[in-house]
């Protein structure tokens, strides 16, 4: 079986997923141990038995709607490659808008806290892009933290990791910048999301009846953990930015709502009083 034939068969097999051809290309490139572009430049290449078996195994997983990033084992974020698996939510490109906004407020020597760190993508990216900042990452999930620590080690980023519920493990500490991409999907949508999303950790997805439970807690607790004129930067779910901004009006000023790569309101940042 050639590369061309393998791709055609896989595209037909994966026809129920959003981008069957593209996913087939990424999976086959992984099976061949080469880049997608190099593979496409040699479509007449014949697969070995081992390569064909590896591709078949990965295609079968994707057919069952397992996220592509879990199968490939990595996802790019802010120019860095992060290990991805079932222990944590997959980093999204939209979240780069949150990282970029946070970096606007990070200075050498800044103390930064990343809540609900997941894979550690935000914390590690901030540390890599502003090495003189002191970065702390927290998550309630021991599994997510184990993955985040692996990513920090692989990218040689010195990040302090804490386990606990939101601010609890950082009790008594204050930071110059607090970042969070918390769970924000309304509980009523459980079981009605894209099949791939449903396979990510529920702990990182759902946040009460209206999806705002974590924002309420962060808005209430963040002031006690921010240094004077410190910044809070949050990712908001679809259609939630205005409501999140309203929650910050009491204890913050200079509230900004910023779009993601698709032009959707995605980031809410605010300065503490």
CA-nearest of 224, 218, 223, 221 to 272 is 223
Q: Residue 245: its pLDDT value, please?
A: 98
Superfamily of domain 3-64: Ubiquitin-associated (UBA) domain (1.10.8.10)
Q: How far apart are the first and last CA of the chain?
A: 65
CATH 3.40.50.150, the chain: domain bounds: 77-272
Q: Could you give the CA distance from residue 66 to residue 62 in angstroms, rounded to a whole number?
A: 5
CATH 3.40.50.300 applies to domain 77-272: no
The predicted pLDDT at position 273 comes to: 86
- Per-residue pLDDT at 226: 98
Q: Residue 101: its pLDDT value, please?
A: 98
Q: What angle do CA 118, 73, 263 make, to 5 degrees?
A: 60
- For 130, phi and psi rounded to 5 degrees? -140, 75
For each of the chain's 273 residues, which pLDDT tens digit applies?
A: 999 999 999 999 999 999 999 999 999 999 999 999 999 999 999 999 999 999 999 999 999 999 999 999 999 999 999 999 999 999 999 999 999 999 999 999 999 999 999 999 999 999 999 999 999 999 999 999 999 999 999 999 999 999 999 999 999 999 999 999 999 999 999 999 999 999 999 999 999 999 999 999 999 999 999 999 999 999 999 999 999 999 999 999 999 999 998 999 999 999 998
Which residues does residue 159 pair with via DSSP β-bridges, in sequence order?
135
DSSP code, position 148:
H
How many other C-beta atoms lie within 10 A of the C-beta of residue 16? 9
Sign of the torsion angle spanned by Cα atoms 207, 208, 212, 215: negative
Domain with CATH 1.10.8.10 in the chain: 3-64
User: Are residues 122 and 177 in contact, defined by beta-carbon separation less than 8 angstroms?
Assistant: no
């Amino acid at each position: 079986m050639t590369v061309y034939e393998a791709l055609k068969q896989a595209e037909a097999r994966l026809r129920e997923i959003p981008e069957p051809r593209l996913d087939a290309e990424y999976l086959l490139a992984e099976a061949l141990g080469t880049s997608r572009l190099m593979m496409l430049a040699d479509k007449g290449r014949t697969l070995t038995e081992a390569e064909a078996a590896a591709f078949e195994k990965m295609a079968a997983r994707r057919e069952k709607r397992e996220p592509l990033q879990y199968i490939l084992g990595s996802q790019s974020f802010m120019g860095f490659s992060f290990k991805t698996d079932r222990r944590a939510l997959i980093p999204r490109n939209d979240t780069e808008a949150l990282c970029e906004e946070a970096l606007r407020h990070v200075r050498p020597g800044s103390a930064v806290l990343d809540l609900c760190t997941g894979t550690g993508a935000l914390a590690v990216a901030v540390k890599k892009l502003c090495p003189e900042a002191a970065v702390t990452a927290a998550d309630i999930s021991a599994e997510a933290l184990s993955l985040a620590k692996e990513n920090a080690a692989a990218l040689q980023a010195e990040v302090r990791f804490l386990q606990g519920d939101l601010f609890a493990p950082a009790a008594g500490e204050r930071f110059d910048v607090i970042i969070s991409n918390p769970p924000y999907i309304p509980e009523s949508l459980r079981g009605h999301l894209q099949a791939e999303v449903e396979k990510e950790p529920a702990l990182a997805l759902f946040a009460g009846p209206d999806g705002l439970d974590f924002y309420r807690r962060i808005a209430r607790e963040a002031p006690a953990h921010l240094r004077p004129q410190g910044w809070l930067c949050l990712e908001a779910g679809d259609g939630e930015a205005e409501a999140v901004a309203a929650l910050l009006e009491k204890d913050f000023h200079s509230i900004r709502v910023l779009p993601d790569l698709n032009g959707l309101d995605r980031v809410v940042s605010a300065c503490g009083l």
